[in-house]
Amino acid sequence: MPELRKERLDRGVKVRAESIYAISSMKEIMFLIGPGLVLVILLLILPVSLPSFWQRIMALTGVYVLLSIGFGFLASYVGLVSLGGALFVGMGGYISGLLNSVGVPMFLSIPVATIAGALICTLVLLPVLPLRGVYFAIVSFVYPLFAARLIAALGIFGGTDGIAGLDVMPNVYVLLYVMVAVVIVVMFGMSRLVNYEDLGLVLRGVKDNEQAIKASGLNLTWYKAQAVFIAAAMGCFGGAYLTHLYGWVGMSLFATDFSILPLAATVVGGTGTIYGPVIGAMLLVPISEALRPFGTLRIVFYAVILVFFVVFFSEGILDYLKRKYEQFEHWVRV
């Protein structure tokens, strides 16, 4: 009779040092790429398997996933707390909408809005980048409020009505797969940047070891600006995408939800990784939409969920799942 014994899933795979793996078999490779693969497959089959109400929510969730990756990236890897989600979304949305309204096709206006929008966002945030503390959070939060008032008061860019009649994606599958493709590229790209690229290492120093970075002849503000540009580009793409989801651009793109939810998603999903905020956003946005029938009461549910996570589950979902996954025990023959 064969003997059985319990073995952890990560046994022999993870050597002591952080993020150095000794890979020796197919099984071990599967252990490492398995979770990512599951996420990618999920993203690929969701668009064709969701009912149409949820398809639209998936599109919106994608925008929040991008914003949350940006928030988590700035908070965990650069040391900047950004509440600029609404600024990024509004900027990208309006640039793409305005371009589209004068005849620029959306397949051009979206990329232009992504790059130009991120550039403008970075420039307007530049004055607060050298400052330490809460200034960045405050200023990034206030700009969109200011922009919305300005648009309403001056009646520019369509005023309170916004600009309607813009291009929309040809069908819901194009809409969703564009987002899925962008999310996959951004997710793996960002994960690579923070873990393996030299720039990621510099940014980590910007967060944890300002003095060494300065003494290394590196301009702190310049690297913060690059990081803000990256996060802003993701948000601006999200805004431009929303414009062509609705075929309309208006002041609601400056809504504070875009600034706050990424923070909540990062708390729920877990800080210190790129995937934590992704998982957080993929949970929170659908929950928030499902609670919509409760009207303003949903804010209460929302607050309860947040407090629950902060108090009882501060490691975040991702770390919890990761731990369970790596320690998962199964029977093996010896």
Partner 1 sequence: MTNDDIILRVDNLEKAFGGVKAVDKVSFDLKKGGVLGVIGPNGSGKTTLINLITGFIAKDGGKVFFKDKDISKWQPHKIADFGLARTFQVMRPYATLAAYKNIIPPLYSPRAKRTAKGKLGDRSAVAVDILEEVGFERDARVPYKQAGTLPLGYLKRLELCRCLALDPELIICDEVFSGLSMSEIASMVPLMERLHSAGITLVMVEHRLRELFQITDRAIVLSFGEKIADGSSQEIFENERVKQAYFGGEDSYVTSE
CB of 118 to partner 1, least distance (A): 22
**Two tokens, residue 205:** 């120093």
| Binding of residue 131 to partner 1 (CB under 8 A) | no
Distance in angstroms (rounded) separating the CA atoms of residues 315 and 231: 23
SS3 197: coil
| Binding of residue 199 to partner 1 (CB under 8 A) | yes
Query: Quick one: which of 49, 171, 211, 296 contacts partner 1 (CB under 8 A)?
Result: 211
CB proximity list for 24: less than 8 A, separation 6 or greater: 12
Q: Which is nearer to partner 1, 213 or 245 (CB)?
A: 213
| Binding of residue 295 to partner 1 (CB under 8 A) | no
CB of 77 to partner 1, least distance (A): 13
**Two tokens, residue 141:** 């939060």
CB proximity list for 112: less than 8 A, separation 6 or greater: 95, 96, 99, 104
**Two tokens, residue 181:** 């493709």
Q: Are 82 and 311 in contact (CB under 8 A)?
A: no
Q: Which is nearer to partner 1, 161 or 208 (CB)?
A: 208
- Ordered alpha helix ranges (H), 21-84: 26-49, 52-72
Question: What's the Cα-to-Cα distance from 260 to each of 13, 73, 80, 84, 313, rounded to whole Å?
Answer: 38, 15, 15, 9, 19
The interface region with partner 1, picked from 22-30, 204-212, 233-241, 324-332 by CB under 8 A, is 204-212
By CB under 8 A, the residues from 6 to 35 that bind partner 1 are 17-18
The interface region with partner 1, picked from 96-104, 121-129, 165-173, 203-211 by CB under 8 A, is 203-211
Q: Are 69 and 274 in contact (CB under 8 A)?
A: yes
Query: Quick one: which of 112, 220, 287, 321 contacts partner 1 (CB under 8 A)?
Result: 220
CB of 1 to partner 1, least distance (A): 45
| Binding of residue 184 to partner 1 (CB under 8 A) | no
CB of 36 to partner 1, least distance (A): 23
Q: Which is nearer to partner 1, 49 or 211 (CB)?
A: 211
Binding residues for partner 1, per CB under 8 A? 17-18, 198-199, 201-202, 204-205, 208-209, 211-220
